[in-house]
Structure 1
Amino acid sequence: RILHIHRNVPGVLSQINDIFRDRGINIDGQFLRTDPKVGYVVIDVTADEEQTTSLREAMAAIPGTLRTRVLY
């Protein structure tokens, strides 16, 4: 499970999903919640440690990202 907290601007979720697509990693589940300034998405994924690290680093590089964290 990966958590991504970001500024609530258009296109962030699309960029996150592109990262998974580009790596050929399927999203098992996804939950998004926003308020006028901040959004967060929780993503369930089946991936090994190397893939998870790559995902987290790529998501952290998205403009507007406030924090990313691998929960488990």
Structure 2
Amino acid sequence: SLRLLHIHQNVPGVLSKVNEIFSRHNVNIDGQFLRTDPKVGYVVIDITASEEQAGAVRDELAAIPGTLRTRVLY
């Protein structure tokens, strides 16, 4: 199990794009926590994935327009 962090501009559609990436890579989301303020949002996502899947997902998350930071926490 891995935990990822995605910090982004708080605009409509970002969470949908995040979840689409996990679906496309056949990665199961074990848990998800979203918090926003008027300008910035962050989502903490627990997943079950191989290191290869996690790397591909992380790279695609970083490419979402409005992304401020993406990282694997553990």
TM-score by length of 1: 0.98
* Aligned amino acid, residue 63 of structure 1: P
In the aligned structure 1, how far is the partner of 2:27 from the partner of 2:7?
A: 20
Q: Which runs of no fewer than 5 residues in structure 1 stay unpaired?
A: none
* Aligned amino acid, residue 55 of structure 2: T
Q: Supply the RMSD in Å over aligned alpha carbons.
A: 0.5
* Aligned amino acid, residue 31 of structure 2: G
Percent identity over the alignment is 74
TM-score by length of 2: 0.95
Q: What displacement does 1:30 show?
A: 0.2
Q: What displacement does 1:68 show?
A: 0.1
1:50 corresponds to:
52
Give SS of 1:4's match.
strand
